[in-house]
Amino acid sequence: AQSVTQPDIHITVSEGASLELRCNYSYGATPYLFWYVQSPGQGLQLLLKYFSGDTLVQGIKGFEAEFKRSQSSFNLRKPSVHWSDAAEYFCAVGAFKMYSGGGADGLTFGKGTHLIIQP
Amino acid sequence: DVKVTQSSRYLVKRTGEKVFLECVQDMDHENMFWYRQDPGLGLRLIYFSYDVKMKEKGDIPEGYSVSREKKERFSLILESASTNQTSMYLCASSLFSSGSINTGELFFGEGSRLTVL
């Protein structure tokens, strides 16, 4: 079965500093990988995704992530954080499974990293 | 724009009450999901559906049931609410296209925060 580990429960970063959020996954095949962001009291919004091809993917809000197959990692980065980046960040792996009627089961999520921005 | 709408953002119910959480998507997606989110536990899949009247159990189905009578609507039902079902519930949908690459990308609603007293 697939799994996702986000080693850092909380991270505190000063505004304007760089950011890296870690994500490690376990999956038997080439994964589909995602980063989502959740602002307080809101649903999840997709930041970026990796399916194939270039291992460095760009997302919204100035975020990027790099897929490293040898390390089973998909770390999220941003060169300079803003106070509005304070949120919960979730890494997820696609657990694609075919059923006779078509369709798939859902993504498997990590437990999230809470990002705090210091002024 | 893609839209997943959860009818109730906040609910307060009493132990033993029957609770319905409604979710509607306007993207003609085949797959719909209900997740539960708790601090320190992340998102856990309760049920999902890949077609009308079809459903599959997720990781934590106990105490829940679902209904999908129409493609755009997926309901989560708590037959007899208990205090340990106090949580944030997130509905999501994804596209399945026969013959195409299906990535499993999920589109989420805003969430329904349920408190059971």
In chain B, whose CA is at the least distance from the CA of A93? B104
Range name among A25-29, B19-23, B77-81 with the lowest pLDDT average: A25-29
Give me Rg for the CA atoms of chain A. Answer: 15
The pLDDT assigned to B115 comes to 97
Q: What is the pLDDT of residues A37-49, one digit of tens each?
A: 999 888 899 999 9
Give the side-chain half-sphere CA count within 13 A for A119. Answer: 0
Determine the average pLDDT of the residues in A61-84: 96
Please tell me which residue, A17 or B39, carries the higher pLDDT value. A17
Chain B residues bordering chain A (beta-carbon distance below 8 Å)? 4, 30-31, 33, 35, 40-43, 45, 48, 50-51, 54, 56, 58, 90, 92, 94, 96, 98, 101-111, 113
pLDDT at residue A32, rounded to an integer = 87
Chain B contact probe: residue of A10, A39, A91, A107 with most B CBs at under 10 A: A107
**What is chain A's mean pLDDT, rounded?**
89
Q: Please write the tens of the pLDDT for every residue from B45-69.
A: 999 998 898 898 988 999 999 999 9
Under 8 Å CB-to-CB from B44, ≥6 apart: which residues? B35, B36, B37, B38, B58, B59, B60
How far is residue A110's CA from residue A25's CA, in Å, rounded to a whole number? 9
For residue A82, give every residue at least 6 positions away whose Cβ sits within 8 Å of its Cβ, in sequence order, or none: A15, A117
Token pair, residue B23, equals 């979710």
Distance of CA B106 to the CA centre of its chain: 12
Measured between alpha carbons, how far is B88 from B99 in angstroms, rounded to an integer?
35
Chain B residues in contact with A44 (beta carbon < 8 A): 43, 90, 92, 106, 108
Neighbouring residues of A112: CB distance < 8 A, sequence distance ≥ 6: A6, A9, A38, A88, A89, A90, B42
Nearest Cα residue in chain B from A4:
B42
How far does the CA of residue B96 sit from the closest CA of chain A (Å)? 6
Q: Evaluate if residue A98 carries a pLDDT over 80.
A: no
Reported as a pLDDT band with limits 50, 70 and 90, residue A111 is very high
When mean pLDDT is compared across A13-17, A29-33, B52-56, B66-70, the lowest value belongs to: A29-33
Query: What pLDDT score was predicted for residue B100?
Result: 57
What pLDDT shows up at residue A100? 45
In one-letter notation, the amino acid at residue A81 is V
| A101 has a pLDDT exceeding 60 | no
Counting one residue from chain A and one from chain B, the pairs whose CB atoms sit within 8 A come to: 84
Instruction: Evaluate if residue B92 carries a pLDDT over 80.
Output: yes
Q: How confident is the model at residue A53 (pLDDT cuts 50, 70, 90)?
A: confident
Which of B35, B43, B103 is opposite residue A49, by nearest beta carbon?
B103
Q: How far is B50 from chain A (nearest CA, A)?
A: 5
Q: Partners of A67 in the beta sheet?
A: A74
A94 part of contact set with chain B, CB < 8 Å: yes
Q: How confident is the model at residue B21 (pLDDT cuts 50, 70, 90)?
A: very high
